[in-house]
Amino acid sequence: MEKFEKFTGIVAPMDRANIDTDAIIPKQYLKSIKRSGFGPNLFDDWRYLDPGAPGIDDRDRRVNPEFVLNVTPYDQGQILLARENFGCGSSREHAVWALTDFGFKVVIAPSFADIFYNNSFKNGLLPIVLDADIVDQLFKEVQVEQDYQLSIDLDQQVVTNADGVQMYFEIDDFRKYCLLNGLDDIGLTLQHADEIKLFEQQYYQNSPWLQ
């Protein structure tokens, strides 16, 4: 995984609550056995006017000119701004893969669904929780200013707008550490392999029916 560096990026607003994983990446694309290539089908049902399926060339499809990610400069967006309960629905990591494949590095929302939130960190996507009032304010600012950008500093845990206003966000130390250093969870856990084995010994002694 790449290290998560400080950056300033374009904010794409999606003014909806409860954006679910079926909307983020429709199920017909889940048949892939790869991790990449989901970007063109991010928000597929909203993004195109014709139905899509694996094998159909997306360049031949009519795009919905009103959908935010089809509008410049949001098609270059790196930060997605949304409302409550972003990423609800299934556990499919394909939703995160589609967002990162498109170019998003950050999603800002007042709340996230648990599994989506977890999956994000495994793929270098930073989900940032900000108060509903602040998110509301950000939506207002995006509306006024076409080329609206925000700066993200994970180390300091702040989002900064062009006027220098800083918004602090919370994140677990461990997740922050892994993201900043681009660490692979599995490698980290395997450093504790002996501890796991020791645990197992005791565990199966206590619960022999599970062995």
Partner 1 sequence: MTALTLYDKVWQQHVVREEKDGTALLYIDRHLVHEVTSPQAFEGLQINQRDLWRKSSILAVPDHNVPTTDREQGISDPVARLQVETLDQNCANHAITEFKMDDRRQGIVHVIGPEQGATLPGMTVVCGDSHTSTHGAFAALAFGIGTSEVEHVMATQCLLQKKSKNMRITIEGPVEAGVTAKDIVLAIIGEIGTAGGTGFAIEFAGEAIQNLSMEGRMTVCNMTIEAGARAGMIACDQTTIDYIKGRPYAPQGDLWDKAVDHWHTLHSDESAVFDREIVIQGAEIQPQVTWGTSPEMVIPVTASVPDPAEESDQVKADGMQKALDYMGLKPNTPLDEVFVDKVFIGSCTNSRVEDLRAAAAVAKGRKVADNVRQALVVPGSGLVKEAAEEEGLDKIFIEAGFEWREPGCSMCLAMNADRLEPGERCASTSNRNFEGRQGQGGRTHLVSPAMAAAAAVFGHFTDVRKI
Residue 123 in the binding site for partner 1 (CB under 8 A) = yes
DSSP structural state of residue 40: G
Question: What minimum distance in Å lies between the beta carbon of 201 and partner 1?
Answer: 12
Residue of 33, 62, 72, 170 interacting with partner 1 (CB under 8 A):
33
In angstroms, what CA-CA distances link 102 with 14, 80, 151? 15, 11, 19
Question: What minimum distance in Å lies between the beta carbon of 12 and partner 1?
Answer: 19
Phi-psi label, residue 103: left if phi above 0, alpha if psi -120 to 50, beta otherwise: left
Residue of 3, 6, 27, 140 interacting with partner 1 (CB under 8 A):
27
Residue 166 in the binding site for partner 1 (CB under 8 A) = no
Residue 115 in the binding site for partner 1 (CB under 8 A) = yes
C-beta neighbour count of 168 within 10 angstroms: 10
Question: What minimum distance in Å lies between the beta carbon of 36 and partner 1?
Answer: 10
CB nearer to partner 1: give 112 or 148.
Answer: 112
CB nearer to partner 1: give 163 or 173.
Answer: 173
Q: Which residues pair with 20 in a beta bridge?
A: 88
Single-letter residue type at 4: F
- Part in contact with partner 1 (CB under 8 A); list of ranges 61-69, 149-157, 159-167, 198-206: 198-206
- Part in contact with partner 1 (CB under 8 A); list of ranges 58-66, 145-153, 159-167, 183-191: 183-191
Rounded Cα distance between 119 and 133, Å, is: 26
Residue 193 in the binding site for partner 1 (CB under 8 A) = yes
> Which tokens belong to 156?
């300091």
What separation, in Å, do the N-terminal and C-terminal C-alpha atoms of the chain show? 35
CB nearer to partner 1: give 60 or 209.
Answer: 209
Contacts of 4 (CB under 8 A, 6+ apart): 105, 124, 126, 154, 179, 180, 182
Rounded Cα distance between 68 and 104, Å, is: 14
Contact residues toward partner 1 (CB under 8 A) are: 16-18, 20, 22-23, 26-28, 30-35, 45, 51, 54-55, 83-85, 88-93, 96, 111-115, 118-119, 122-123, 172-175, 185-186, 189-190, 192-193, 195-196, 199-200, 203, 207-210
